[in-house]
Amino acid sequence: MNLPTIAVTMGDAAGVGPEVVVRALVEPEVRGLARCVVVGDAARLARAAEICGVDVRFKTVGSPAEATGEAGVIDVLDLGIIPADLPFGELSEVAGEGAFQYVAKAAELAMAGEVQAICTAPLNKAALHAAGHRYPGHTELLAELCGVPEVSMMLSTGKVRVIHVTTHIGLVDAIERIDPGLVERTVRRGHRTMVDSGIAEPKIAVCGINPHAGENGLFGRGEEEEKIVPALESCRADGIDAQGPLPADTVFFRAGRGDFDLVVAMYHDQGHGPVKILGLEAGVNITVGLPVIRTSVDHGTAFDIAGTGRAEAGSLVEALRQGAALARRP
């Protein structure tokens, strides 16, 4: 089987990242999805395995090509940054630096074509900033490291995939920012991601902005005709099956029954709400527009339970599942 290779970043070493990584990578299902190599610290992972009571061996590799993914073994690109006495559950500049270096190494591997996806365990933004790396989070950091000016957020579940034209800005600002160029670039990024994951001719539904997608100008101020229609005409001229603008109140039902492979949401809550009603544990955050797919867990560093062995790995397993499904095949 031609499995993709996924770089799994360990995240903040003082948080639950090491524990969830260990728990996830010993799952037989994960070994059948992808060849995984952890970018992190082998000694910290071994400590996490001890805390969690997981019987596993760690093999240090020099490159992803050396990873074998054999049962009972976790392959690690060991950067050796974390001191043995680093406490769990406490903000640490050293852990912030480690988290940055793990992501930087994963980005380097992606740019070199050595991995087909990146899956990130959680980092702590305050620790990242304390180490001198002032990024809002993984997305902006990876975009800069990979030299990519614009990326898109996609949420993926077993039933629905949604890519967003705008995300973390107010609704009034979102409507102002939406323009034909941004809509077109988002649709094309989504289309490319679907094609790369093996869907040769994806069906894409594009939401309107206003109720009933404007109802032919009855609602709103003509935003659909001005901001969305020109983008879709351009995409369709290149053979992309992008339907819309469609009413958002029905399009997610249609996507859930299989009418569409991807929904394009215009703003944050339009896309996030329908996905999260399916269950927070079902949704995976995906960054598209990078040289590779990047998926992430849907939780933070959880300092309150870090080092206790109580952290669950379900979110990381789902992130690995989605990353493997969307990754380009080597």
CATH number at residue 251: 3.40.718.10
Tell me what pLDDT residue 326 has.
83
CA angle 218, 221, 226 (to 5 degrees): 110
Helix 42-52 × helix 17-25 angle, to 10°: 80
| Cβ atoms of 153 and 285 closer than 8 Å | yes
283 falls within a domain: no
φ, ψ dihedrals at 242, nearest 5°: -115, 110
pLDDT bracket for residue 259 (50, 70, 90): very high
pLDDT at 279 over 70: no
Any idea what DSSP says for residue 35?
E
Residue 137 sits in the same domain as residue 13: yes
State whether the Cα torsion 262-268-270-275 is positive or negative: positive
SS3 label, residue 298 = coil
Same domain, 44 and 162: no
CA dihedral of residues 19, 22, 27, 28 (deg, nearest 10):
180
Per DSSP, the three-state class of 311 is: coil
Same domain assignment for residues 176 and 250:
yes
| pLDDT (tens digit per residue) in 288-304 | 898 888 999 878 899 99
Residue 207 lies in a domain: yes
- pLDDT tens digits along 91-138: 999 999 999 999 999 999 999 999 999 999 999 999 999 999 998 778
Decide if 285 is inside a domain: no
Same domain, 16 and 138: yes
Q: How far apart are CA 122 and CA 315, in angstroms?
A: 11
Confirm whether 282 is domain-assigned: no
Asked if residue 140 and residue 12 are part of one domain, the reply reads yes
The answer to whether residue 173 sits within a structural domain is yes
Mean of all residue pLDDT scores within the chain: 93
Q: Are residues 28 and 50 in the same domain?
A: yes
Classify residue 61 as exposed, middle or buried by CB count within 10 Å of its CB (0-12, 13-18, 19+). middle
pLDDT computed for residue 282 by the predictor:
62
Above 80 in pLDDT, residue 316?
Answer: yes
**HSE-CB for 329 with a 13 A CA cutoff:** 8
- What is the per-residue pLDDT across 179-235, written as a single tens digit (0 to 9) for each? 999 999 999 999 998 998 889 999 999 999 999 987 888 888 889 999 999 999 999
For the chain, what is the domain count? 2
Residues 35 and 68 grouped into a single domain: yes
Judge if pTM exceeds 0.85.
Answer: no
- Pairwise CA distance, residues 117 & 330, whole Å: 11
Q: Domain residues for 319? A: 5-148+290-326
142 and 24 both lie in a single domain: yes
Nearest of 267, 262, 201 to residue 236 by alpha carbon: 201
Instruction: Please identify which residue in the block is written with the tokens 């499904």.
Output: 325
CA 39 to the chain's CA centroid: 16
Rounded (5°) CA angle 2-6-9: 170
At 281 the pLDDT is: 59
Out of 139-143, 236-240, 242-246, 301-305, pick the least confident. 139-143
Q: Once rounded to an integer, what is the mean pLDDT over residues 230-257?
A: 96
315 and 202: one domain?
no
193 and 308 in one domain? Answer: no
Longest dimension (CA), the chain: 65
Residue 141 shares a structural domain with residue 30:
yes
